Amino acid sequence: MAPAFSKIRNMDIPTIPGYIFTTLIVYMQGSVILSGNRLLLLILLFISASVFLISKLKTDKELIIVFFFLLLVIFVQYSQFKYLSYNTVLGTLVRFILPYFLVKIIGKEYLTYYVNVIYFFAILSLILYISSILSPNFYHFLYDLSSNTGIERLQIENNLIVYSVVDDIRLGYLRNAGLFWEPGAYAGFLIMAVLFNIVKCDTLWNSKNIVFFIALLSTFSTVGYIVLFMTIIFYYLSNIRRKAVYYFLIPILCLGAWYSYFNMDFLGSRINSEIAGIQNSELEYSGRIGSGKKDLKDIVKYPFFGKGRNVATRFENYNKENVLEFHRTNGVTDFAVKYGLLFSLFYFFNIFKSFKAFCKKYRYNKRFGLLMLVIVLTIGFSQTFFQGIFFISLIYLHTVFKEPVKLDVRNRFDVKNFNRNPNLQQKAGVM
């Protein structure tokens, strides 16, 4: 009698709790109200750790490696600067441990939940955004309503929890920030949803991505537009098999990108102005490029273990009155300065592993995982994304795709036969 192979036990939690936890992840990084709330981080850590233990989920070695790697970085930084902030250390450890528990208890459908959550808020933001453009009275109503909450004192933007009311204008139009702190940040989260949806649905053009594209265009974000072009080009690079189509379509996309760069003020003109700004030593703040240039000087001084998150070690001669001088917006170089190149390489390598595992799950071209990483680094060039719990969660995602296969086999021959037989693996639910 042929051995019976039992299916892998489904460790994913039910759909509703999955959506709740995923929404919390988005809010804990993106919302001007919840992001940075230390008490909420600790409460969420306690809840997620409790669910993790009750569910009897296995602790992966990746969490142990991250924990001790961070302790090593913190110890070396203390040895160098003779300064230690317990609040900063605790905040760092919580930010890197919490996403692990959340990813593990949400399970393999985490990115599916993420796409749907962003899709819901994208539709909501477009309704409020388009209404604000069509009716100035409606915009002023939203602005006054958000002002009355007192939330605007926390950030420059007024926020209605599900929507940020900004007064930023480009090309004569308001910009759409969604629920995030600014339109550029919203563009980053939108493009991540596009990438995940491409892999899951095996297509660039479907109803959800069209909504994401429209929402992304409404942000008028420089980097958002750049990564949109990159995403379209990368998609066709990964999927086109006929050389005639390949050589016809790619030049058209490149020409479109070139035309947009030189004809949209917030693309070519803005980038050129930032380059000119870093050449002007009188300017305190010169944008993403200028931030990167300043950070590179610190990376050269402390390449391996960085300078830490606390301003006491992060900046020399820090003066809180001179905000622009110490303002950093280049997320890639800022992360390298704070954590060092060793941990940064480890961090982005694990994100790549997660993208590759995600592509493998949906039988998508695994090379697209590397292209996804390139896009992540590009959006990180304009936002300090990588210290938020959503992007940190991506370093653990690959762990949920490697649950051990539980087999009901009688001897070693059955195991070997199973490993070599794709048909048996498919019946067991492995493939």
**What sign does the dihedral 219-223-225-231 (CA atoms) show?**
negative
Q: Read off the pLDDT of residues 332-386 as tens digits, 9 standing for 90 and up.
A: 888 999 999 999 999 999 999 999 999 999 989 888 999 999 999 999 888 889 9
Instruction: Provide the token pair at 239.
Output: 């999927």
- Residue type at 54 in one-letter notation: I
Its pTM surpasses 0.85: no
* Cβ-based neighbour number of residue 35 at 10 Å: 19
- DSSP β-bridge partners for residue 164: 159
The b-or-e profile of 85-120 (16+ CB within 10 A means b, else e) is beebbebbbbbbbbbbbbbbbbbbbbbbbbbbbbbe
In degrees and rounded to multiples of 5, residue 158 shows phi and psi of -85, 145
Measured CA to CA in angstroms, residue 124 lies from 13, 148, 321, 333 at distances of 27, 21, 38, 34
Residues of the chain with pLDDT under 70: 1-14, 35-36, 147-157, 240-288, 318-327, 403-431
Which tokens in the block code for residue 368?
């697209």
The pLDDT value given to residue 230: 87
Looking at residue 247, what is its pLDDT? 59
* Contacts (Cβ under 8 Å, ≥6 apart) of 420: none
How many angstroms separate the CA atoms of 143 and 165, rounded? 6
Mean pLDDT over the full length of the chain: 80
Rounded distance between C-alpha atoms, residue 216 and residue 125, angstroms: 11
Nearest to 205 by CA among 232, 237, 240, 238: 232
pLDDT tens for 19-37 read: 999 999 999 898 877 766 7
State residue 302 phi and psi, 5-degree precision.
Answer: -130, 70
What is the model's pLDDT at position 431?
A: 47
Q: Give the model's pLDDT for residue 129.
A: 94
State whether residue 174 is helix, strand or coil: strand
| Spatial CA neighbour of 343 closest among 72, 101, 93, 29 | 72
